[in-house]
Amino acid sequence: MYKKLLVPLDGSPTSRLALAEAAMVARLCGARIELLHVVNELDHVSGRETPAVYIREIRPMFLKAGQELLDAARAELAAEGIEVEVSLQESKGARVSEMIVDRAVQGGADLIVLGTHGRRGVNRVLIGSDAEQVSRTSPVPVMLVRQARKTG
C-alpha cells in the first residue's frame, strides 16, 4: 500500500482533479500527502523584464501565489483528516518535470499523482508535457489524472 503521495499542483483544473484523486487514495490507504508547487521562472518572464525586475518585483508575487495555493490545498486535506506537508520550489532553469521526479525520490514518495491535459498530436509535440516527462523518467510510479473527454 502507499504511504506517501506526491501531488504537484499548478492551480489548473486538472491539478485539482489530481488532488481529489490523491485524497481518495490517501483515505483508502492511510497515506500522507506532500503537495508540491514549482514556480517556473521561464513561464513568467516575457523577455521584456530584466532579471533584476523579475527578482525584485515579479518573483515575490509568484512565490506568494504558490504558497497560497499550497496553503488552501493543505487546509482542504487537513479538514478531511489527511496528513499533509507542502513544498514550494523554484525551477531556476531546471525542467519542472525533473524537479517533480527529484522531489518524489528525495521525499520518499510511493506514488506521484499528477494532472494532465491529455494533449495529442501537434499540440503535444509543440507544447510538450511535464506529465509525460514525469511518467517516462520517474522511478516512482505515476498516476495521471485528466478531465473526462467531452462527448456529443
Task: State pLDDT tens for residues 33-61.
Answer: 999 999 987 654 555 555 666 667 788 89
Rounded Cα distance between 74 and 84, Å, is: 6
User: Position of cell 518524489?
Assistant: 104
Q: What is the pTM of this model?
A: 0.86
Tens-place pLDDT, residues 107-131: 999 999 999 976 555 444 444 588 9
Q: What is the pLDDT of residue 149?
A: 66
Residue 19 predicted with pLDDT over 70: yes
Q: Which of 86, 53, 61 is CA-nearest to residue 71?
A: 86
Domains of the chain (ranges; CATH) run: 4-145 (3.40.50.620)
How many residues comprise the chain? 152
CA angle centred on 134, ends 16 and 35, rounded to 5°: 40
What is the DSSP track for 62-130? Answer: HHHHHHHHHHHHHHHHHHTT--EEEEEEE-TTS-HHHHHHHHHHHHT-SEEEEE-----HHHHHHH--H
